[in-house]
Structure 1
Amino acid sequence: MASATSSIPAGYTYLGQFISHDIVPKTNPRARGRTVSPALNLDSVYGNLSSDELARYFDDEGCFKHNGQPFDVIRTHNKALIPEARNDENSIIVQLHRQLQLLHNRIVKRLTNVTDSVAKIVLAKDIVTTLFHIVVVNDFLRRLLDERVYNAYFKKTRQYILALNAPLSSVPIEFSLAAFRFGHSLVRNNYTFSKDPTVNFTMDRILRRSTSAGLQENEQIDWSLFFIETSQKANSIDMSIDVGLGDIPDEGNIVLINLNAANTLKLASGDATLSYIKQYFPQLALDVDLFRQAPLEIGEEAELYRAYQVLLANFSQRRLPLWLHVLHESRHSSNPFNALGKLGSIINAEVVRSSILHCYANRSLKENQSMMAFLQDAPPLQRFLEQTRESIPHTMLELIHFLK
């Protein structure tokens, strides 16, 4: 049963997945990968900047190495030359990865007052990371979170659950196994990459392409088809999943994966998590009007519900698992099926805000300070803007145009 179409441009599905790859470790225990930090510091793009990685990823000028194509990353020995292998498992994600490489290269070329290539790389990374944070806060989160939750966390900042400005030791499982997996409901079964209407890419083709050969010309994405209001849309945030996620390579059925993972780790149900917040964080509940949030009963007729029924004997409670709760409560959000409800918004706001602040160890976000003001005042970005008189991109579409 496929989701109805939302008003969310399709690109935000994959911007969310890109964020997840940067801060959430790979869940497949058989797969090896880099050590993932909970900080949203773009180490999925930059690596840890060790001497070996500097030589592997960057040229003598401090730019990312490339193969001459603006849409694909460089490859060697039949593998993408990038720190995060998951970013090459999907032909949309790898092109988002390439856009951030291009942003880095553009900034490096404007840093004419810095002569040392390593210093250029480090400074450019700081600037790119802050620009990315601005887009995440102003565009991605503002679009997808409940309005009252967004305002409480990002316009008039207060500390609620996670300590404000304290380093995040790990990404909470409530986020990684449930709340941020709302993106799975957004996935369409097919996408248009270019203005040629005869060329469509199914999820099967997007996930099962041969990575050794790299992207082909006809796979190059026209980003205006992904990040503007008139572009193709993501599916609705609801309790249904498109067929393309029924059999993910090396993973399996995403519904069973998500439900089993949460059950194995005894993740609290959505209703239990809601009750916990109301009891122990009453100011948060008041600020976002959480006390009106009624328990959500099981009863949605969709693949997710039916899969849950199959697994029901393994669950200790008959309330919706947190992942399903987050999906189901969207119908009661300020923008039904196009934004998260309050509980999903709270968990995602808490974790993404902390992941961002983790990157600014020498600065503190003050209570009631706007997150956007905090980010725009970051010293490396401010110095760059003063020297170049560039304007700040605030949305993904502006960021893409910034590169032209």
Structure 2
Amino acid sequence: MIPGRRTCREATRRRPRATRTRTSVIGDPRNDENVIVSQLQGLMLRFHNRMAGLIGDFAETQRAVRWHYQWVVLNDFLPAIIAPAVLAEVLPHLAAGTDPVTDPPKLKFYHARDEAFMPLEFSAAAYRFGHSMVRPEYQLNETLPKSHSIFAGDSNHPNLRGFHEFPAQWAIDWRFFVDLEPMDYGDANNLPDPRNKKRLQLAYKIDTSLVNPLGHLPSDIAAHPHILALRNLERG
């Protein structure tokens, strides 16, 4: 184990929860929907608090955190899901190596009159493509040899559903989700081996299919209908 790794994982697990119900104290409860999203949200909370300690001023901290998040979206997320030519057409400053002030975005169909907004056609329809990228199960860290289903499961096969506290042993080792550091392949037949490249659980390719757990959502996640594809179609 890398020195300090457990401390880092433990810190990403913790997040503010109500004393009586143990539900997450959060603006949007959907960010506590499953163990992975919950810990990512907790990681952002830690980043915000760290920046607040460095900057001091709350408004400046807000702006700095937003800028970091936007930088990740523009420079990491979008290039991963959009063809380079399309991205360069919409955001010419990325290809030109300039800035969005010199080369502003060129949006053909989005025109905000007063304030920026997210079109319903995007949030409730087009952006649902991410559901096809979800894997059916995930391994959280090297101390848990078995993967956990993202939603489905029973008492003998626990799942990663959120809205409650989860065991300390479920703290995420982010090397299983993001290629943070170079490692050799290790033992290909030993998934918990931290050197095993198969440990990296990349998102599925964008296509027209969803994994089985998303076709049978638990009632505390969604109901009427509980099939995610049908929910997407009805919203779209």
Distance (whole Å) between structure 2 residues aligned to residue 165 and residue 143 of structure 1: 30
Distance (whole Å) between structure 1 residues aligned to residue 111 and residue 42 of structure 2: 34
* Matched-pair identity in %: 27
The equivalent position to 2:209 in structure 1, one of 233, 240, 263, is 240
The equivalent position to 1:250 in structure 2, one of 215, 222, 229, is 222
Aligned residue in 1 for 2:131: 184
Q: Which runs of 5+ in 1 are unaligned?
A: 1-67, 115-119, 263-404
Aligned residue in 2 for 1:24: none
Aligned residue in 2 for 1:124: 61
Question: What amino acid sits opposite 1:221 in the alignment?
Answer: I
Question: What amino acid sits opposite 2:12 in the alignment?
Answer: P
Aligned residue in 1 for 2:89: 152
Aligned residue in 1 for 2:178: 227
Aligned residue in 1 for 2:80: 143
User: Are residues 1:95 and 2:71 paired?
Assistant: no
**Equivalent residue runs for 1:207-222 within 5 Å:** 207=161, 209=162, 211-212=163-164, 214-222=165-173
**Equivalent residue runs for 1:54-133 within 5 Å:** 69-76=11-18, 77-78=20-21, 79-111=23-55, 114=56, 120-133=57-70
The answer on whether the counterparts of 1:188 and 1:234 sit within 8 Å (CA) in structure 2 is yes
- Once the two structures are superposed, residues 136-158 of structure 1 have per-residue CA deviations (whole angstroms, 9 ceiling, x without a partner) of 11001111112111111223432
Distance (whole Å) between structure 2 residues aligned to residue 125 and residue 134 of structure 1: 14
User: Are residues 1:260 and 2:197 paired?
Assistant: no
Alpha-carbon distance, 1:164 to partner? 7.0
Question: What amino acid sits opposite 2:227 in the alignment?
Answer: N
Q: Which structure has the larger Rg over C-alpha atoms? A: 1
Does the residue aligned with 1:75 lie in a helix, a strand or coil?
Answer: coil
Alpha-carbon distance, 1:171 to partner? 2.3
Q: When you count helix as a share of all residues, which structure comes out higher?
A: 1
Distance (whole Å) between structure 1 residues aligned to residue 143 and residue 113 of structure 2: 47
Q: Which runs of 4+ in 1 moved over 6 A?
A: none
Q: How many residues align?
A: 184
TM-score after normalising by structure 2: 0.71
Distance (whole Å) between structure 2 residues aligned to residue 172 and residue 159 of structure 1: 13
Superposition RMSD in Å:
2.1
Question: What amino acid sits opposite 1:91 in the alignment?
Answer: V
The answer on whether the counterparts of 1:193 and 1:219 sit within 8 Å (CA) in structure 2 is yes
Alpha-carbon distance, 1:256 to partner? 1.0
Distance (whole Å) between structure 1 residues aligned to residue 112 and residue 29 of structure 2: 32
Q: Which runs of 5+ in 2 are unaligned?
A: 1-9, 94-104, 152-158, 181-196
Distance (whole Å) between structure 2 residues aligned to residue 97 and residue 261 of structure 1: 26
- Cα 1:227–1:97 shift into 2, 3 Å: same
The higher relative CO (CA closer than 8 Å, separation ≥ 6) is in 1
TM-score after normalising by structure 1: 0.43
The equivalent position to 1:172 in structure 2, one of 119, 136, 140, is 119
Distance (whole Å) between structure 2 residues aligned to residue 247 and residue 154 of structure 1: 38
